[in-house]
Amino acid sequence: MASPRATQALLQRSIEAIEASSDTFEELPEALRDLLMALQELLESPGAPSGPAANDARQVLEMVALAGESELRNQQSVTASLEALSLELERRILAAPVALAAGQACPPCGIDGGTEAGRSLGLLAALLSHNPSRLAPELDPTSPLGHRYPFADEKLAMEPGDTIRALEELSDLGLFQRTLVNRIHVCSECERCHLNFREQCPRCDSIDLKVERVLHHFRCGYTGIESEFGSGIELACPKCRRELFQLGQDFDRPHETYVCRHCESLFEEPQIGAQCLACSKESAGHEAPQRAIYTYSPTPLANRAVELGRLTGLEVDSILYDAELKIATRDFLEFEIKRELVRLSRHATAFSTATVSFERHGRTVPIFRDWTASTLRELCVMLAGSLRSLDLVTRLDASRLGILMPEADEAGAAIVRRRLFAELNEMSFVDRSGNDLVPTWTVATWAERRQPIEEVRRFLFPDSNMLKVEP
Ligand SMILES: [Zn+2]
Ligand SMILES: [Zn+2]
Ligand SMILES: [Zn+2]
């Protein structure tokens, strides 16, 4: 089986050959065969890539198997789509992990594998094309925290202790979800887990302790440790000097006690001290900080990070709010609604507001969490293209888009809806499991002269119980 790098080179050569021969068509069959071979190898390789591009590639291969190569080579359109497909495959699946693993910059996306951020993206890309994609810890007595993640150590080119710090940072960015696996105590000084917990005298901190039985002499009431009553066969009370004969009749042994050999204190509960075997720092055991050890699973945001080639600025707002698109912030939408209400109070006019969401079996899907950045942008580009120039779109919450249509009465809003749904029905929208989603529209037209803004807000944010009160 060829390595990913060899497969990538083969893909690259095939694409170049196809590009060079697309006029003459004479050398095409061979280049095409190479390309198909490369695709086949890629899809059969261990940890084969998944996702839409890989599914497309599988479909093309099935098509080839059905049609036969001789028929295929005459179809220019198939060749062109293969070419586009392989470029996409190369960009999305192959190039990033290969270049990043080699510590180079990835040409299509510009991710630099030589930096920590680039290696982190390489790790995410590798995990997302893996099954299972979780990072589970292994026990390792030599690691600072007693656990390690060999796959991440390798991808990040880090020592185990640094790897955990990096994974924690990626989790804080929302790229990993943590699942608790273990809790460990660490040294408060050097943060390593190599602690020796030991029993110490609460008075002088000595570790030279022994456990002795306590004797209670019934007759005089004296209570003391057993060694005070003599070490031979005969037991004598150190207070009243009488001999002790019968357990239960003359004396009993109520409990045991710790005795410090150093300061001779008696105590029932020793103090637990923690000694660091790495830096020799000593502290009380209950003061040793705890660290949680987790399994890390990439979140949907990690898909977006790999797709966009960056670790931050992945939030929907920073992707969507863009000068080209008519996507507004919520504050701006609210500002515009207030303006419409003022206009409404002066002129006999109307405006409409609408929401668009996507459902499966009547359940609304959180598209702003689940969809990739490119799908979201595709939707927004479509919206921007089909709405009127004054209409405004904003993200209301995790699943709904809000649309403001100034000067649109019910008939006007119906026209906008028709045009929009003609476009929406041309596109296909799926959830994370690939199930088809149905676009859903709700609309309200506002035509009363004294319309309070609360009613408009209640329409746009029905679940919100934190409606702002206007003075
Ligand atoms: Zn006695
Ligand atoms: Zn002591
Ligand atoms: Zn230490």
Q: Where are the domains of the chain?
A: 4-100, 116-186+292-304, 203-268, 316-460
pLDDT grade, residue 471 (50/70/90)? very low
**CA 456, 461, 464: angle at the middle one, nearest 5?**
125
The better pLDDT of the pair 387, 27 is held by 387
Separation of CA 181 and ligand 3 centre (Å): 23
Residue 267: strand, helix, or coil: strand
Nearest-ligand number for the alpha carbon of 259: 2
Separation of CA 287 and ligand 3 centre (Å): 13
Nearest-ligand number for the alpha carbon of 217: 1
Tell me the pLDDT tens digit for each residue of 427-439: 888 888 888 999 9
Is it true that 116-186+292-304 and 316-460 share their CATH fold?
no
227 DSSP 8-state letter: G
Share of the chain above pLDDT 70, in %: 71
Pairwise CA distance, residues 460 & 451, whole Å? 15
Separation of CA 421 and ligand 2 centre (Å): 83
Dihedral in degrees, nearest 10, Cα atoms 41, 46, 51, 52:
10
Tokens coding 308: 């966009």
Separation of CA 259 and ligand 3 centre (Å): 29
Separation of CA 265 and ligand 2 centre (Å): 6
Crossing angle for the helix pair 76-89 and 4-21, to the nearest 10 degrees = 140
ipTM field: 0.79
Separation of CA 261 and ligand 1 centre (Å): 24
Nearest-ligand number for the alpha carbon of 210: 2
Residues around the ion ligand 1 (C-beta < 5 A): 217, 220, 222, 237, 239-240
Nearest-ligand number for the alpha carbon of 235: 1
Tell me the pLDDT tens digit for each residue of 187-217: 999 999 999 999 999 999 999 999 998 999 9
- What is the CATH number assigned to the segment(s) 116-186+292-304? 1.10.10
- What is the CATH number assigned to the segment(s) 316-460? 3.30.70.270
Enumerate the β-bridge partners of residue 402. Answer: 355, 394
For residue 440, count other CB atoms closer than 10 A to its CB: 13
Q: String of b and e for 115-139 (b: at least 16 CB within 10 Å)? A: eebbbbbbbbbbbbbbeebebebee
